[in-house]
C-alpha cells in the first residue's frame, strides 16, 4: 500500500516504512498547486533578462556565464551528465528508494521550481520498482550531494543505470520496460535534482533506524548480563535517575528494571552479598545507554526536519528567486557524528560486560570463559576478542567527519560538511555493534543458565528462548562463526528486544 508524503510534515515512521518495508510513496495531491506555481515563476525568469543562478547562468564558479533560452535544455542535460562522477560500490536499493522519497518531499514543498512531471516520474519510478544505481562515493556534502543525486537524475533523462525487479539495466531501457518516459529537463530542473542533502540524509536515517534497534537490544543484553553475574538492581532505582533528570537515562533504567522484575536470580543475593557495588559496565548502563538514547533522539529530530526541508538552490520564495546555501549538509553531518558516538559507546560498555562474564575473577563464580570444561574447551574466549576488535574499529570510525572540511570547485565551495561519508560509515558501525551485542546475549544467556535452578525474570526468559531457538547453549567447543552471525541477526531484526517487550522509542 503506497504511503502519502506530506511535504513539510512527514514523520520518521513513514520514512522507515519506505526504507524497511519497500512500500512505494507519492506526494499528497494538494502539493501540486505550489509546485506548479513555482515552476511558472522559473519559466518566466528563464525568459527574462536578469541573471538568475542556475536558471540562465552556468553553475558554481561558472555562474557568471550567461546562457541563452534556446540552450536551457542542453545546459540542464549537460549538468546531469557532467556530475555523474560517483565511484565505488552502489548504494543499497532500500536506501536509494528512501533517497528518492526524500527528493520528492523536497520538490513537493513548491520552492524548487520544477514541473509536476518531475515529481510524477519519481513517483512512477518508486511505484514500478525502478531504482537508479547510485555509486556511494563522491559527495562532500555541499553543494549538496551532487554526484549521487546526478546518478539518480541520469536515469530520469534516460541515461545511467538502474535496477528493475532485480535486474541491472541501462536507464533508458529500464524506463521503457516499466512503462515510463524519460523527461526533458527545463530551466533549473537539473539543478533542483542534484542540489540537496537527500543522499546524506537517507544514509543517516537508515543508520538511525537500525541504531534504535541496537539501543533496544542493549537494554535486553545488559539486563541479562546483570543477572548472569548476579549484579545488583539497586542502581536502577527511579529515585537515582530522577535526581539527575536526564530523560534517556530515566527511560533506560525503567526499561531494565521492568525486564528484571521477578528474577529469582536477583532475589537470591539481596542479602549478605559480599560485593558492595558492581563494576561500571553493570552499574552505569542507564547513564551510558541513556546518554546514547538522548543523542539518537536529538539526531532524529534534526533528520526529521531535514527530511522535510528544501535544500536545493536557488529557491522560489515570496520574496523572489533567492540564492542561498541550504544544500550545505552540516546539520546532517552533525547528526551522523552524534549517531556514531552513540553506537561506539553502546558497544564499548557492552564489550566490557562480555569481558566481565568470561573472566572468572570478576564473574561471581561463573565458569572460566563460560564453558563447562575449561582447559579442554575455550568457550567464549575468542568471541570476546572479536568483540574487542569490533569495539576498537567502531571507536576509530566514530571520529568526527564534519571537522574534516576541504575546499572544492575552484574554492567556490570552500567549506563542506563531509556528511555523506559521515552517514555512510554508520552502516558498518551498526553491523559491528550487532555482533558485539549478539555475543553479549550469548554470554549472558550462558551465564544465566549456569545459575539454574534459579530462573531469571519472565521477560528475560522470553528473550532467552528466542536466543536458544537460533543458537543452542554452548557445551563442548564447536565452530563458532555461525553462532555469532545468528545472534547478531536477532539484534538486527529487533527479534530479541521484541521478545522481551522492550518499548524504548525515539
The catalytic site residues sit at 53
CA distance 204 to 195: 18
Q: What is the signed CA dihedral for 141, 145, 147, 153, rounded to 10 degrees?
A: 180
Determine which helix (DSSP H) or strand (DSSP E) holds 252, and give its type and residue range.
helix 247-260
Query: Of 325, 299, 293, which Cα lies nearest the Cα of 310?
Result: 325
d(CA 207, CA 196) in angstroms, rounded, equals 19
Measured between alpha carbons, how far is residue 395 from residues 3, 347, 381 in Å? 38, 9, 22
Q: Which residues contact 391 (CB under 8 A, 6 or more apart)?
A: 344, 347, 348, 351, 432, 436
Angle between the 93-107 and 12-21 helix axes, to the nearest 10 degrees? Answer: 140
Determine how many CB atoms are found less than 10 A away from the CB of residue 200. 35
Question: What are φ and ψ of residue 25, in 5° steps?
Answer: -150, 150
C-alpha cell at 172: 533508458
Residue 336, preceding peptide bond in cis (omega within 30° of 0) = no
CA torsion angle 472 473 475 478 (round to 10): 50
Amino acid at each position: 500500500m503506497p504511503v502519502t508524503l506530506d511535504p513539510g510534515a512527514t514523520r520518521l515512521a513513514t520514512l522507515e516504512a519506505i526504507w524497511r518495508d519497500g512500500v512505494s510513496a507519492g506526494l499528497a495531491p494538494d502539493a501540486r498547486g505550489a509546485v506548479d506555481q513555482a515552476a511558472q515563476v522559473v519559466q518566466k525568469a528563464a525568459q527574462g533578462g536578469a541573471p538568475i543562478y542556475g536558471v540562465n547562468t552556468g553553475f558554481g564558479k561558472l555562474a557568471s556565464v550567461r546562457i541563452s533560452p534556446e540552450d536551457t535544455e542542453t545546459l540542464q542535460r549537460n549538468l546531469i551528465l557532467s556530475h555523474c562522477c560517483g565511484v565505488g560500490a552502489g548504494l543499497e536499493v532500500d536506501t536509494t528508494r528512501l533517497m528518492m522519497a526524500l527528493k520528492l518531499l523536497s520538490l513537493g514543498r513548491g520552492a524548487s521550481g520544477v514541473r509536476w512531471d518531475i515529481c510524477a516520474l519519481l513517483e512512477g519510478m518508486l511505484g514500478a520498482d525502478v531504482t537508479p544505481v547510485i555509486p556511494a562515493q563522491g559527495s562532500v556534502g555541499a553543494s549538496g550531494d551532487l554526484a549521487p543525486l546526478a546518478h539518480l537524475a541520469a536515469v530520469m533523462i534516460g541515461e545511467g543505470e538502474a535496477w528493475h525487479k532485480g535486474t541491472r539495466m541501462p536507464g533508458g531501457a529500464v524506463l521503457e520496460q516499466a512503462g515510463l518516459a524519460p523527461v526533458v529537463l527545463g530551466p533549473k530542473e537539473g539543478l533542483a535534482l542534484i542540489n540537496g542533502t537527500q543522499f546524506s540524509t537517507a544514509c543517516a536515517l537508515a543508520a538511525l533506524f537500525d541504531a534504535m534497534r541496537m539501543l533496544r537490544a542493549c537494554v535486553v543484553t545488559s539486563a541479562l548480563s546483570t543477572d548472569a553475574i548476579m549484579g545488583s538492581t539497586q542502581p536502577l532505582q527511579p529515585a537515582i535517575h530522577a535526581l539527575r533528570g536526564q530523560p534517556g537515562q530515566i527511560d533506560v533504567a525503567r526499561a531494565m528494571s521492568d525486564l528484571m522484575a521477578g528474577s529469582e536470580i536477583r532475589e537470591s543475593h539481596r542479602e549478605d552479598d559480599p560485593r558492595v557495588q558492581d563494576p561500571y559496565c553493570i552499574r552505569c548502563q542507564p547513564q551510558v545507554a541513556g546518554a546514547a538514547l538522548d543523542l539518537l533522539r536529538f539526531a532524529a529530530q534534526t533528520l526529521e526536519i531535514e527530511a522535510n526541508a528544501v535544500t536545493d538552490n536557488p529557491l522560489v520564495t515570496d520574496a523572489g528567486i533567492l540564492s542561498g546555501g541550504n544544500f550545505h549538509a552540516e546539520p546532517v553531518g552533525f547528526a551522523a557524528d552524534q549517531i556514531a558516538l552513540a553506537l561506539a559507546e553502546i558497544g564499548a560498555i557492552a564489550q566490557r560486560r562480555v569481558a566481565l562474564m568470561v573472566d572468572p575473577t570478576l564473574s561471581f563464580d561463573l565458569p572460566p570463559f563460560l564453558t563447562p570444561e575449561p582447559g579442554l574447551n575455550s568457550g567464549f574466549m575468542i568471541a570476546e576478542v572479536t568483540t574487542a576488535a569490533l569495539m576498537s574499529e567502531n571507536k576509530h570510525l566514530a571520529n568526527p567527519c564534519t571537522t574534516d572540511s576541504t575546499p572544492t570547485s575552484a574554492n567556490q565551495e570552500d567549506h563542506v560538511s563531509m556528511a555523506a561519508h559521515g552517514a555512510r560509515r554508520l552502516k558498518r558501525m551498526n553491523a559491528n555493534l550487532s555482533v558485539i551485542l549478539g555475543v553479549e546475549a550469548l554470554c549472558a544467556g550462558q551465564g544465566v543458565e549456569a545459575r539454574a535452578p534459579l530462573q531469571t525474570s519472565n521477560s528475560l526468559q522470553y528473550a532467552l528462548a528466542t536466543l536458544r531457538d537460533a543458537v543452542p547453549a554452548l557445551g563442548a567447543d564447536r565452530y563458532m562463526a555461525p553462532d555469532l552471525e545468528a545472534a547478531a541477526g536477532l539484534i538486527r531484526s529487533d527479534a530479541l528486544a521484541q521478545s522481551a517487550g522492550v518499548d524504548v522509542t525515539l
